[in-house]
């Protein structure tokens, strides 16, 4: 597996692969890889000749009071995992390699970025879209893999690729969970033992919501109320949002009809966790 820190190294390798006619799959990550990331890399491995994993804690998607400095990192472990599942190249740039001494250009997707996580993280998705655009341009991939765990991010990247005519297929992959249902996340490492137990409340509440929708409930307010009640029963939790939105423009819905994203963001202690389900 090639370990590249420079954009020029990745571009040179991509040029060779393209010349040889290989297809390329890209998996953008912020590192501290777990089985959720691994599922994306394995899928990319199955569907492409060459697989590039980017491993970069992207500073411009963190707000001033967020966890950029403390975000967990373990590049050696990430390399081992990537190599063991057959990635061909891991791209691990320093922030200065990506953004230089000065950086003035941003990519954003209006409307879809404004609700859900965008409300409490106003610059987040512009940071994501900008780094993803850069990675698309560097890797020239045929396919890029994103988890439904970050459902808003996936919808925004899909929209960006469509609106801006990217020649790249965006592949959405299912949420990988711990045995008790907690969605795997690099941020789960922030939870102490008591908080870790409490964190299962997100999955419990969403499971109830999903059952209601599957049973034919059409009133979004009732689903929000049921999910909210379950989450609030956990004393360590504090809700950021519980929302049902259409899974295209991510606008709140009153009536459940068509593809609906039900998404929650909840603080467990100081750790903000997200989870969701999609009803087609």
Q: What is the DSSP string of 2-49?
A: EEE-SHHHHHHHHHHHHHTT--EEEEEE-SS--HHHHHHHHHHHHH-S
Residue nearest to ligand AMP (CB): 147
Site membership for ligand AMP, residue 155 (CB under 6 A): no
The residue within the footprint of ligand AMP, chosen from 131, 138, 175, 230 (CB under 6 A), is: 175
CB–CB of 244/253 below 8 Å?
Answer: yes
What x-and-dash track marks residues 40-69 binding ligand AMP by CB under 6 A?
x-----------------------------
For residue 144, the minimal CB distance to ligand AMP (Å) is: 9
Rounded Cα–Cα distance for residues 42 and 173 (Å)? 11
Site membership for ligand AMP, residue 30 (CB under 6 A): yes
Given the complex with ligand AMP, which of 52 and 212 has the nearer CB atom? 52
CA dihedral in degrees (84, 89, 92, 96; nearest 10)?
Answer: 180
Rounded Cα–Cα distance for residues 268 and 134 (Å)? 33
Angle at 31 between CA 29 and CA 35, to 5 degrees: 85
Element (H or E) spanning 221, and its range? Answer: helix 220-232
For residue 209, the minimal CB distance to ligand AMP (Å) is: 19
Span near ligand AMP by CB under 6 A; candidates 36-44, 110-118, 132-140, 158-166: 36-44
CB–CB of 278/246 below 8 Å?
Answer: no
Helix (H, G, I), strand (E, B) or coil at 186: helix
Catalytic entry in 37, 92, 124, 203: 37
For residue 95, the minimal CB distance to ligand AMP (Å) is: 15
Tell me the C-alpha to C-alpha distance, in Å, between residue 185 and each of 137, 177, 191, 205: 27, 9, 11, 18
Given the complex with ligand AMP, which of 147 and 209 has the nearer CB atom? 147
The residue within the footprint of ligand AMP, chosen from 129, 183, 212, 266 (CB under 6 A), is: 183
Site membership for ligand AMP, residue 173 (CB under 6 A): yes
- The sheet that has 271-279: what strands, in order across it? 237-246, 260-268, 271-279
Active site residue 124: no
The residue within the footprint of ligand AMP, chosen from 71, 146, 247, 277 (CB under 6 A), is: 146
The residue within the footprint of ligand AMP, chosen from 43, 50, 143, 149 (CB under 6 A), is: 149
The residue within the footprint of ligand AMP, chosen from 138, 147, 168, 182 (CB under 6 A), is: 147
Site membership for ligand AMP, residue 79 (CB under 6 A): no
Total residues found in the chain within this entry: 280
Tell me the C-alpha to C-alpha distance, in Å, between residue 81 and each of 88, 92, 114: 12, 14, 35
Query: Rule CB under 6 A: which of 81-140 touch ligand AMP?
Result: none
Span near ligand AMP by CB under 6 A; candidates 28-36, 100-108, 190-198, 268-276: 28-36
Residues that bind ligand AMP in the complex, under the rule CB under 6 A? 29-30, 36-37, 39-40, 146-147, 149-150, 173, 175-176, 183-186
Please list the active-site residues.
37
């Amino acid at each position: 597996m090639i370990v590249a820190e420079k954009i020029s190294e990745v571009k040179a390798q991509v040029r060779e692969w393209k010349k040889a006619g290989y297809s390329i799959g890209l998996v953008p990550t912020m590192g501290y890889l777990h089985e959720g990331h691994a599922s994306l890399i394995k899928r990319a491995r199955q569907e492409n000749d060459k697989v590039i994993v980017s491993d970069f804690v992207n500073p411009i998607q963190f707000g001033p009071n967020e966890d950029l400095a403390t975000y967990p990192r373990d590049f050696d472990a990430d390399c081992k995992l990537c190599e063991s599942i057959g990635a061909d190249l891991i791209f691990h740039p320093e922030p200065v390699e990506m953004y230089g001494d000065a950086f003035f250009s941003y990519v954003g997707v209006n409307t879809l970025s404004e609700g859900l996580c965008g409300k409490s993280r106003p610059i987040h998705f512009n940071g994501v879209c900008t780094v993803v655009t850069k990675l698309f341009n560097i890797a020239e991939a045929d396919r890029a893999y994103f988890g439904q765990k970050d459902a808003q991010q996936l919808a925004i990247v899909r929209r960006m690729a469509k609106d801006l005519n990217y020649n790249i297929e965006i592949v959405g992959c299912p949420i990988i969970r711990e045995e008790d249902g907690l969605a795997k996340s690099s941020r789960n490492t922030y939870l102490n033992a008591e908080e870790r137990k409490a964190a299962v409340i997100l999955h419990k509440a969403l499971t109830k919501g999903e059952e209601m929708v599957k049973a034919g409930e059409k009133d979004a307010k009732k689903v929000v109320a049921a999910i909210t009640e379950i989450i609030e029963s956990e004393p360590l939790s504090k809700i950021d949002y519980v929302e049902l939105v259409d899974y295209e423009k991510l606008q709140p819905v009153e009536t459940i009809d068509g593809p609906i994203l039900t998404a929650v963001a909840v603080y467990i202690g100081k750790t903000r966790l997200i989870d969701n389900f999609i009803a087609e």
